[in-house]
Every structure is written in structure tokens, then in C-alpha cells.
């Protein structure tokens, strides 16, 4: 799938923290997708586009315009793997801060739902069973 997303001028930007479980699961899905992960957030009719540098959120009505971008993740700033990861939230719409509250709650659910569906396909193997030798 290919989606071209453009951005307007940022209207606001703020420091935030993403819970470790969400950050780690996003990176697991990213590794499975081999480049870019598309995570539908059905409850909001949004799509999260995850790449190695950022997470961009687009509205289903305008998939070509970024609404919010989570950028500059700093996992090295945390002391343990279960500590939250600092990042910058960039808003491209006036309602960005209000949407942000919902995205923080809905993204973990969407990540978990997608992870539950996705599984790594392993090559099939045929096992040969031999008959035990008859001792009679």
C-alpha cells in the first residue's frame, strides 16, 4: 500500500511521553511489516502510519493530510525498557490537542488488535512417521 501524506504548517508542538508497551508493540509491528506499518484506529476512523522515524495520523476523510505527527522519539532517554518514551507531538489541525487525548487511549488498543491478527508465517514442514517394526 502506498499513501502520500502532505503536511501544512504546524500549528502547535509539545513534549509528550508514550507508554513503553505502546512504543515496543509499535516497533514489533514495524519489524513484521518490513518498513512501514499501517494501523487502523477504527473507533476514530483514523489511520496511524508507523515508520522508523515517526507515527503520522491521518483522518479517513483526508488520507493525504497529516493531522498529528509523533516525532523525535528518544528511547535512549529512558532508564528501563518499561519506562515511557519521550517524543514531540506536532499538530497540523486546530483540534489536534483534543484528538491527542483520544489517540493516546485508542492507539494501544489498535496496536494490540493488529498484533493479535498478525503472525509470522513459517515455512511448512512435512513430518515422516515410520511404523514401528513388528516384533511378532
Whole-number pLDDT of residue 124: 59
Q: What is the pLDDT of residues 30-75, one digit of tens each?
A: 988 878 999 999 999 999 999 999 999 999 888 888 999 999 999 9
Helix (H, G, I), strand (E, B) or coil at 2: coil
Amino acid 123: pLDDT: 63
Euclidean distance between CA atoms 91 and 66, whole angstroms: 9
User: For 32-43, how does the pLDDT look when each residue is reduced to its tens digit (9 = 90+)?
Assistant: 887 899 999 999
Percent pLDDT > 90 in the chain is: 65
* pTM for this prediction: 0.81
What are the CA-CA distances from residue 117 to residues 49, 69, 98 (Å)? 17, 25, 29
pLDDT at 120 over 60: no
**Measured distance CA(48)–CA(22) in Å, rounded:** 13
In degrees, to the nearest 5, what angle opens at C-alpha 120 toward C-alphas 27 and 57? 35
Measured between its terminal Cα atoms, the distance across the chain in Å is 63
Q: Report the pLDDT averaged over residues 109-134.
A: 75
Amino acid at each position: 500500500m502506498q499513501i502520500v501524506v502532505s503536511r501544512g504548517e504546524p500549528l502547535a508542538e509539545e513534549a509528550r511521553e508514550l507508554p513503553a508497551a505502546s512504543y515496543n508493540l509499535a516497533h514489533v509491528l514495524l519489524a513484521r511489516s518490513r518498513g512501514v506499518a499501517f494501523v487502523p484506529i477504527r473507533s476514530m476512523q483514523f489511520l496511524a502510519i508507523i515508520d522508523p522515524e515517526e507515527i503520522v495520523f491521518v483522518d479517513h476523510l483526508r488520507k493525504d493530510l497529516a493531522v498529528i505527527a509523533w516525532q523525535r522519539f528518544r528511547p535512549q532517554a529512558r532508564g528501563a525498557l518499561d519506562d515511557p518514551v519521550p517524543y514531540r507531538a506536532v499538530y497540523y489541525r486546530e483540534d489536534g490537542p483534543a484528538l491527542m487525548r483520544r489517540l493516546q487511549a485508542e492507539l494501544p488498543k489498535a496496536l494490540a488488535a493488529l498484533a493479535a491478527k498478525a503472525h509470522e508465517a513459517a515455512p511448512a514442514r512435512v513430518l515422516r512417521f515410520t511404523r514401528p517394526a513388528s516384533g511378532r
